[in-house]
Structure 1
């Protein structure tokens, strides 16, 4: 039987009896005070209790279990100088393992010699990690399958040393197909150890995992919605069909109505590349998170996004299946569908990858659902990529006619979660005022054919082969193979038209021409006066003017008056 703790008094980090080196690392990270989940979980874990930790995405669960693990290791070092593996942290995806290991490294920056962490999730031969494990690091982070493989190979032993087992994103462990691995892992565990399950939901899978792993746990279920409060996270939707989606996205980005770092979610990996090639025609840089590429490549893409190398990342979540576009219910197309599904099923996706869950996308201002999520759960997890911690965020969803039932389900769920109506606001967008953008968008969207998408994916894979260090020696010994790879048949790339990168003044809506910071108001007649516009962080999808939505065909006279008044105030 589990128990639910009473509300403890508010605690700060320095009141939790943490080591000074750990407190200095926390201060260096700029954490002024613990989040709610950290405040409640850290004291319980330091007491040695088994804990089932349920808190919403972005609430600080990683630090909530990492800080007690590090503290317990530092405590044990005072009485036991023998080096051994004290903690095993399991996560369902390689990206999440990398993120957890990085967080632990940041928290142990002042005690790196005393507490060492190793990430075993990366691709590679099992024996390559044996030298690292022979040094017996204090913390091991891995996916269940990798941890089990190393245990079977006797690269590490936990029977006599393990103190803590942590399973992060526990609700995804079974859905990623790790049920048997987790059960087998328990055979290599000592008879007594502390267990922690961290999850964003309390699904049936979590309950099953709880019975297997936990013993008389404290159930820490924070009474808060799955997403950030409505004052921190705003939800919008706009009705748009396929061609209109592309035009609206182009207008929003080029007119700087969407500001800050943005994640764009689509259904499939093919759609990721289609959208990337589409945006490239307008010189809007974006990167793709492809689950078919190696984990190191995906982690690099996330890292570049977090370091502001890119402002836009295009992704599909782990629940998305590769399906052919343009499906219909006609019986004539049934056989074609089966053939296409067979072809797409041959693409091998990395089972240990995850996009909408677990990955720590930092300082994300906007999530755009270019393709509406398939269910409520996917919407929640996509929306959870923004408004993390105390940051503000917005979610904008494009909804086609056939997706209206899904929209109703999401709206009903959000209304219950927030205990209020009209949570999902309508984002008014007058397409007639951006007809110039629509005209350009139509041709650019058609230009991205399936052949162009396929060749773009092949080009990226070839580039990764060339960049792969493991193949460098092979190519040095076989230069002809390298030559053949580099000079393969010409790729069918989308033709880039240089003039599309500019937004001439004549296609900008009249209501926006006088607003400072809206659009790249360049004129093709005078290229010397072109100004480079930058993305700037914003707390809203709406630009910061007095009118909520400049493209709404209402009260344009008042908008112009406000603009003139703003100019007078500035002078």
Structure 2
């Protein structure tokens, strides 16, 4: 099924084709005709299903069909996202898909200078992609008005609720006209999401392409049992021995992400950390370095990773298991995107077995920790299944990760990353 069969105009079909997409994904097949018809949408779609194009393409077409240009300081379509990285990614997609249309778009988020954003808002925008906090700053300063918004998109609404943005969202929505089209996208239809939808959506069409609490079927999930103090050592060896060139690693804390990136860098693996305490410039540089291959290992916290959108990311590693099982689903959804195969590896310390069991119940899948020779956890600390096969192919390369069982000379053997 080509995109043209969904009712999209030629300019949009050419744009998606230019970016390598020939056929729509299930979320796009279901959402695009409904949005083109002007109906509200409540959609459950996991990361990597193509949901951004699912709302951006019909949104751009509806805006282009109108003969009413954006007035100074006004906004015609507003897309709210939970993080800066996701806002930047969505904004770039809107720009790419709308390259053949005469529409103005901009992205605003915190951590960068406000003056260029103010100038963009002053001209008026057809599409504004924003994080809630920075948008409220501009609204309070009178830099923009929202009384002419025709389309509102709440992207990754579940994460915005998790991050405590509900009050900001309510303040923003109170400034929008009641007569509008509202599109809400979430990973799952939780009770909180349904409650939010009942308040802000009008007779929405429900679209669910993600079975509740399931993980993407193309992702192979593996767990290795290891003492907490040897996690970084094992991670370094895995990366080096397999010659992995692009690895996204999740750490539980900002400090832990910094420390782990520094230690891996000392092991000869070019690494960088990305989290909320980093400046926006540092986060952008780290992400770009990871995408272009200059950075081999990117260590991220859950919030910072929400905007990482790499179509062919082959591997995700949980250095620390998340405290909230749903975050595991979000994490591993960074790989196995757009129908491609992916792998998710979790390093499980003895005190994290309870977290692993909660994850198993959520995803309805057994993920029994294996033991790698040379990295056996302390006796009786964890019930793991020995791996009798050679766990990995290849050998560690000089300066690119350590062999199992050997002490590190380049970095301290610490606790949790």
User: How far did 1:271 drift?
Assistant: 1.9
Offset from partner CA, 1:68-98 (integer Å, 9 cap, x none): 1110111113xx4565631011111111111
Structure with the largest fraction of helix: 1
What is the DSSP-based 3-state SS (H/G/I as helix, E as strand, rest coil) of the residue aligned with 1:431? coil
Matches within 5 A, 1:448-463: none
Aligned to 1:22: 12
Aligned to 2:223: 237
CA RMSD, Structure 1 to Structure 2 (Å) = 2.6
For residue 31 of structure 1, the aligned residue among 21, 34, 39 is 21
Q: Which runs of 5+ in 1 are unaligned?
A: 1-10, 319-353, 416-420, 454-571
Offset from partner CA, 1:259-286 (integer Å, 9 cap, x none): 3421111222222222222222331111
For residue 396 of structure 1, the aligned residue among 328, 345, 353 is 345
In the alignment, the residues of structure 2 paired with residue 294 and residue 392 of structure 1 have an alpha-carbon distance, to the nearest angstrom, of 33
Matches within 5 A, 1:174-185: 174-185=161-172
Matched, 1:149 2:137: yes
- Using CA pairs below 8 Å that are at least 6 residues apart, which structure has the higher relative contact order? 2
Matches within 5 A, 1:45-60: 45-60=35-50
Matches within 5 A, 1:1-20: 11-20=1-10
For residue 262 of structure 1, the aligned residue among 224, 235, 247 is 247
In the alignment, the residues of structure 1 paired with residue 265 and residue 195 of structure 2 have an alpha-carbon distance, to the nearest angstrom, of 46
In the alignment, the residues of structure 2 paired with residue 397 and residue 17 of structure 1 have an alpha-carbon distance, to the nearest angstrom, of 43
Aligned to 1:118: 106
Offset from partner CA, 1:154-190 (integer Å, 9 cap, x none): 322232x321011111112233222222222223212
Offset from partner CA, 1:287-323 (integer Å, 9 cap, x none): 11132012232123222212222221111223xxxxx
Offset from partner CA, 1:97-120 (integer Å, 9 cap, x none): 111101111112222xx1111112
TM-score by length of 2: 0.86
Matches within 5 A, 1:67-466: 67-77=57-67, 80=68, 83=71, 85-111=75-101, 114-124=102-112, 126=114, 128-159=116-147, 161-222=148-209, 224=211, 226-230=213-217, 232-256=218-242, 259-318=244-303, 354-355=304-305, 357-415=306-364, 422=366, 424=367, 426-431=369-374, 437-438=403-404, 440-446=406-412
Structure with the largest fraction of strand: 2
Q: Which runs of 5+ in 2 are unaligned?
A: 376-389, 397-401
User: How far did 1:442 drift?
Assistant: 4.0
TM-score by length of 1: 0.64
* 8 Å CA contact 1:243, 1:445 repeated in 2: no
In the alignment, the residues of structure 1 paired with residue 260 and residue 293 of structure 2 have an alpha-carbon distance, to the nearest angstrom, of 20
* 8 Å CA contact 1:12, 1:39 repeated in 2: no
* 8 Å CA contact 2:46, 2:210 repeated in 1: no
Q: 1:237 to 1:205 in 2, by over 3 A?
A: same
User: How far did 1:45 drift?
Assistant: 0.4
In the alignment, the residues of structure 2 paired with residue 446 and residue 261 of structure 1 have an alpha-carbon distance, to the nearest angstrom, of 24
* 8 Å CA contact 1:278, 1:448 repeated in 2: no
* 8 Å CA contact 1:56, 1:226 repeated in 2: no
What is the DSSP-based 3-state SS (H/G/I as helix, E as strand, rest coil) of the residue aligned with 2:32? helix
